[in-house]
Amino acid sequence: MKIIFAGTPEFAAAALEALYGAGHDITLVLTQPDRPAGRGMQLHASAVKQCALAHQTSVLQPVSLRLDGKYPEIAQQAHDVLRATPHDVMVVAAYGLILPLSVLQMPLYGCINIHASLLPRWRGAAPIHRAIEAGDAQTGVTIMQMEAGLDTGPMLLTQALPIAADETTATLHDKLAALGAAMIVDAIAQLERGVLPAPQAQPETGVTYAAKIGKQEAALDFRMPADVLERKIRAFNPFPGATGHCLGATVKIWRARALPAASAAAPGVVLSADAGGVLLACGGKVLELLELQKAGAKRLPAAEFIKGFPLEGGVFE
């Protein structure tokens, strides 16, 4: 089947690679423009662009596809390329740009999206982070037919995946990326055979929105209960990384565990910091810090971290 693929990060690249592996003809790849990254802030191609170029596929990187937006000339040029490119369907995964109706209606079979949640829960930009942060017991992948609304389109396939007690966004991302890749290959195969299930409208109940993760969310509020903070730490690993300020330094907290013990100490007070662990008072309970990092240094187990930066007597703010 002839496919135009639109996506940007690793999650999308996994799906694109799977479609190549299944033998489909990827006639064009859309991805976001190269972005500066790293210490030198050099321009870096997206994971999807790297995958496409490795397979010698043409890549299009418009800053917008909206004909009525800020860049109408660029959008028009992109529309012209899309219309001139043979394709039966467009597959979309974490592209990051709005697809206007003029694009959604272009392919014969429309645009099919790979979304990393069980819709209608966690529509929006950060479904993996928000599912962990909220303490959900499960998440999954929805293959959906796209329409003009934000992740509101009818569902074609869904598959659930449990969220482990120690799950981070990094680990859950990789599981969902693999699941999404397998599901889109299956969906396209069913589409080719004419047996893809009829789209099912999303339920009108249970709708939640996964707002984009902002760097400002990294700073933890230690007045919150320990279990809430533990979920945030896992949700913000690897981005933006949960942080606290202690003894004049910003400390990233990569792993932690909420303990059932109660504490009458003020929020953020370091209860102990020794070989037995780093214990912190949070919201009347205790949070055990397991992996920490100072700016410019390595991530370390807490017992190693305190050898170079003793936390005893400190207060996290």
Length of the chain in terms of residues written: 317
Smallest CA-to-CA distance from 75 within 61, 88, 89 is with 61
Residue 276: its pLDDT value, please?
Answer: 81
Find the radius of gyration of the CA atoms of the chain: 22
Taking residues 144-158, what's their average pLDDT? 96
Give yes or no for a cis peptide into 120 (omega within 30° of 0).
yes
Give 152-178 pLDDT, tens digit per residue.
999 999 999 999 999 999 999 999 999
Give 203-238 pLDDT, tens digit per residue.
999 999 999 999 999 999 999 999 999 999 999 999
CA distance 30 to 52: 9
pLDDT band at 75 (very low <50, low <70, confident <90, very high): very high
3-state secondary structure of 30: strand
Task: Find out whether 256 and 268 touch, Cβ atoms under 8 Å.
Answer: no
Residue 89: its pLDDT value, please?
Answer: 98
Taking residues 84-104, what's their average pLDDT? 97
Q: Measure the CA dihedral 139/135/130/184, to 10°.
A: -10
| 250: amino acid identity, one letter | T
Residues in Cβ contact with 170 at an 8 Å cutoff, skipping those fewer than 6 apart: 237, 238
